[in-house]
Structure formats: structure tokens, C-alpha cells
Amino acid sequence: QVVYQVPLKENHVLKRNVDQQLRIKIIYDRSIEDLLPEKRHLIKNKLFPQAISSLEKTFQVRKSTGTILLSRQCVTNQYLRRKADPHRYCRGACADYTRCGPVVVPEKHLQQCRVCNENEWHCGPTGVPDQEGVRDADFVLYVSALTTERCGHENIIAYAAYCQLEAEMDRPIAGYANLCPNMISTQAQEFVGMLSTVKHEIIHALGFSAGLFAFYRDDDGKPLTTRYADGLPPFNESLGLYQWSSKVVHKAVRLWDVRGGKMLHHAVYLLITPRVVEEARKHFNCPILEGMELENQGGMGTELNHWEKRLLENEAMTGSHTQNRVFSRITLALMEDTGWYKANYSMAEKLDWGRNKGCDFVMKSCKFWIDQKRQKRQLISPYCDTLRSNPLQLTCRQDQRAVAVCNLQKFPKQLPQEYQYFDNLNGVPAEELPYYGGSVEIADYCPFSQEFSWHLSGEFQRSSDCRIIENQPDPTKNYGAEKYGPNSVCLIQKSAFVMEQCRRKLSYPDWGSGCYQVSCSPQGLHVWVKDTVYLCSRSGQVLTVSIQMNGWIHVGNLICPACSDFCDFCPPERDPPASNLTRAAPIDLCSCSSSLVVTLWLLMANLIPLLTGLFLCA
């Protein structure tokens, strides 16, 4: 239950003063204390402090000067308002407890109970007076870790929402974030993803929610949606939301290419507030774009509450976490267009997906894009058309920071006609083509290269993000001589790497890319494989690798990326020097060199005392 039009204790908002940093006060529910110590420490000492710090640096607020005191909920959920009185009155009685989502709000955060009797003749305050409230805060966030019904839904890590809005500007002043206890991961490899999820959920509570669209205001503080006499917008019963105006969300119809040469009408909803339009047009390089498309799939909670996944794949405010979430200028623009915040755009993260792809990318189906690129014999990136198979054919994520695999797969049922994109696929009979699409439904089934993770008996082992040092593979399974860490990137392998030892040869069936350390120099981009450095003189150059590691020879070929992909300053591309073209002298681990013999004798000498000891104790 959301409470609207909550008066602040000093009911005054400085509409012009938008240069004050957002202040978020965290209140931890008792359920946080009941978690295992490592999970409690993660939430209270790392996740939420870091998330709040980042958001407070990103947003400034139209400053409220009053203490936050929340309105009490009513026993019957029926309440009344009196003329010239900012408070709401419960019919009959106030509820024993007031909740914000699943959390019981502390008594000290609540206003005095105000009630009207059954015939509404007598109304007034009752019970304990106004409590102390929450001082020096613009938003109160109640954080819990309760196993709720919603946590039973597949892959739900956390969820959040607003619960009370202030009266003057309709800005949310209280909300909650609930983390599902069984989904809280303390593994270092998953921290960045968990942090992104927490920030994502708090942004929903602060303003990016379909239920708040009707309450957005312009730069002068005027509502973008017409209000009734009671100060609220019209309510849409079918949506269960207050109905926004055409100044906020616009419905459009796209001409949508599908398989068989057909074209359908595809309805979309776009957020069309001024800064969002400006940032979306700049990002896609499409001057006729009406706004930024909202998600049209995923059901309640996802639909309309996120950016369209097909167009902003790894933007943090899309409806699912696939990889490398970033909070882009488009999301910051939306928060500014609420009328409640000013954004610090230096905190925006770079979004590569869709950048400068043009109007055909952002206003047409992915089939149109793929077909156009094929006809021109160009890469179909950011989409892909390689079937996900066993063994895996590995590639790189679009930003070249993770090993990836194309998520094109066969579904058990035919996809809806508007999401059937392929007239042909290598090795797929024509009658089966309607069953094929990308694995992410909310990306309109468009296939793209996606990072992944390795699991053993259902337990997470590591992900394919090159920058996370904990993802380093076990030495016995590091066929490609890979190196994970903050300076590592994904490189394409021209052939499968082979591990050789005497007459033994091992290779890994899943190949195509790997993670390798790189560095920049005046000569160009350097690729490091173990302690050997290779110079990339031009994009597409083949590096012949032969190095010794852990008693094995690792042999393979890597393809150089463009120096400009990773370095700010690069020399002109040129043919590599002859030394870079010749194969390194083969290393022979089977030769009986004197050093090897000495090492073996030393090993035997060290073993003798141990063997003697065993015999004496027999």
C-alpha cells in the first residue's frame, strides 16, 4: 500500500534549490541481524554503504527542510481528507502497525494517528503525538532480508519500491529494499553484480517506476499529468496505476520485419521527457527518435518499469542482469526528468550497446539489422547467429571485456510470429526455423553474445568476466594460458590451444576466445601470455604463441584487436616486423638436459630421509 501526499513536518520545499546532495538514510530491519555473519557483513558494511555513496554522488535533490514523519496506515484502508488540512484521517482507526513493503516501520518514524468516527462528523488526532521522525534525510530506505512469496519466483535476488510520497512535489520520501536470503552471494566474483542489483532496486524506489510516471514534474515544478481536485492524477484500473499523460509516455507503432519477407505492426511505449529524448537521440545517433523505448515483456514488475532490453542490453535499468551492467546517461536523464533530482553526469558509465548504430537499429526489428549487415558482408554485431552448441563456440562480449557465447537456441515451442527472425540458419531445417531465437525473452528474442558462468554440481565456480581475478581457471585446466585480472581483455583465438608434454597432447573442446593481459606503449598494444610479451602492430595480426607453464607447452594463435579499442594513444597501423611473424623456437620438455638430471637427483636426495623414516617406523 502506497501513501500519497504526506506532509513534511515543516511543509516547505525549496523548488529552486537543486544543488543539495541527495541524503539517503538506511534503516536495517531485524531480519538483517538474523542472517549468517558473512551475509550480514556484506550487506551492512559493503553493499548498501557503497550503493548509497554512489547514488548520493550521482543525484542532487530539491531540498526538503522538514523532518520526515511517515503517515500511519488505516485498519480498513479507508481514509478521508479535510479541506485545507494536509493530513489524512483514517475511518474508524489507525492500523496497529504501518508497513513499508514487508518491513514494519518503527513507531518513532510515524506521525500521530488521525481518525474520523464512522459518521465522519468528528475528526481529530488520537494516541501518542508526532514522534521524532528521521532528520537530515531526503529518503528513508528500509532494508530487509525476508523470505517472502516474491522470493519464490525464479532468480529473484532483490526487489524494492517506494511506499510514501511527500505532498508538495510528490517525491518519494520512503521506500524499501528486500534481499532474498538464499540468493545473497558472498563470493568475490559476484560482488559487482550484487552491488549493481542493489543500486538498480534503489533507483526504482527513488523514481524509475511506472507507478510514478503520472507524478513527474517539469523544471518549474508543475505536474506533467493533470490532477483532479484531490491533487491526484486519474487512476487506471486495468493497469492498477495512476495514468500518466502523453507528455511522459507515448505509444508508437513500428514496421517490424519478420521471417518469410513479412512485415508486422509492433506496438511500443516510449518515455518522451525532454532530457531522455535528447540523450537517446545522441546515443543511437538517430535524430528522429521519439524517445526511449520501455520494456514490453516480462509481466508485471518488469514491463514498463525498465528500458527495452533489445536496445540497451547491458544498461543497468533493463529488466534482467545478463552482463556488465552500467548506469548510463539515459538513466540519469530520466531521474532528472522526474522533476525531483538534478543529475551529475560525470557519474554516468559508458554504454557501448547501440552506440551510434542509427535509426535502423533503434526503430526496426533485429531481423532487419541482421539482413542489412549480411547483404553488405559486414559483421552483424551486436547480434549474432551462431547456434549455442556443445562444444561451445566461444567469442568475446561486445566490449571485449569477457568471454562470451552466442545465446541463439532452439525453443520447445514456436516463437510468436513477431519474434521469428531467421529465413535460414546453418544446419537448421526450414520447418524448424520458427523455434529459434535468442535466449533472453525480454530482448525480443534477438540473439546476442553473452558472458556466462561455470557451475559444478549446481554450485557457481567462476564467471567469464576477464577483469575479475577470482575467475582465473585452475592451472590444470588453463589450456589457453589465460590470465584474468583488472588489465585483462578478451581476445579471439584463431585455433584451439594445445597443451603438449613429451608425446602427450591435450586440447579443450570449448574454444574461440580467452582472457589475456594487455598494456599500452608508444609502440602500440602489447599482449602478455605468461611472461612473454607480443606486440600487436595492426588489427587482425595473428600472434603465434608457444610458452611453457606448469610443466606443459601451450601452443596456439591469438588475433590482435585494434590498439584503439584499449589505448588512448596508438601509432599508425603497420605490418609487423619479421621477428613477430616467425614461430618461436620449439620448447622440448622431453630432452635429458644436465639441469633436468641435477634436479631429479636433488629430488631423490630429498626423498631419502623421508623413506628412511618410514622404514624405521615399520
- Kindly give, in sequence order, each residue whose CB lies less than 8 Å from that of residue 378, ignoring residues fewer than 6 positions away: none
3-state SS string for 99-145? EECCEECCHHHECCEEEECCCCCCEEEECCCCCCCECCCCEEEEEEC
Distances in whole angstroms, Cα of residue 423 to Cα of each of 19, 264, 367, 414, 459: 55, 16, 9, 14, 38
> Is 200 known to sit in a ligand binding site?
yes
Q: List beta partners, residue 115.
A: 90, 124
Burial of 87 (0-12, 13-18, 19+ CB in 10 A): middle
* Inter-residue contact 342 to 334 (CB < 8 Å): no
C-alpha angle 222/80/121, rounded to 5°? 135
Helix (H, G, I), strand (E, B) or coil at 333: helix
- Among 117, 177, 185, 130, which residue's Cα sits nearest to residue 155? 185
State the CB neighbour count (10 A cutoff) for residue 395.
20
For the chain, the distance separating the N- and C-terminal CA atoms, rounded to the nearest angstrom, is: 77
| Adjacent-strand bridge partners of 256 | 264
Taking residue 350's Cβ as centre, other Cβ atoms within 10 Å add up to 9
Is the distance from CB of 22 to CB of 64 less than 8 angstroms?
no
Q: Which residues contact 520 (CB under 8 A, 6 or more apart)?
A: 526, 563, 566, 567, 568, 569, 570
- Check if 154 is active-site: no
- Which H or E run includes 616? helix 594-616
Q: What angle do CA 6, 10, 14 make, to 5 degrees?
A: 90
For residue 438, what is the enclosing H or E element? strand 436-438
CB burial of 528-548 (b: ≥16 within 10 Å; e: otherwise) equals ebeeeebbbbeeebebebbbe
CA distance 383 to 422: 13
Query: How many whole angstroms separate alpha carbon 133 and alpha carbon 482?
Result: 55
Residue 412 has phi, psi (to 5 degrees) of: -70, -25
DSSP letters along 394-425, please? EEE-TTSSBEEEE-EEE-SSPPPGGG---S--
Catalytic residue among 166, 168, 190, 201: 201
Q: Active-site residue numbers?
A: 201
| Residue ranges at the known binding site for Zn(2+) | 200, 204, 306
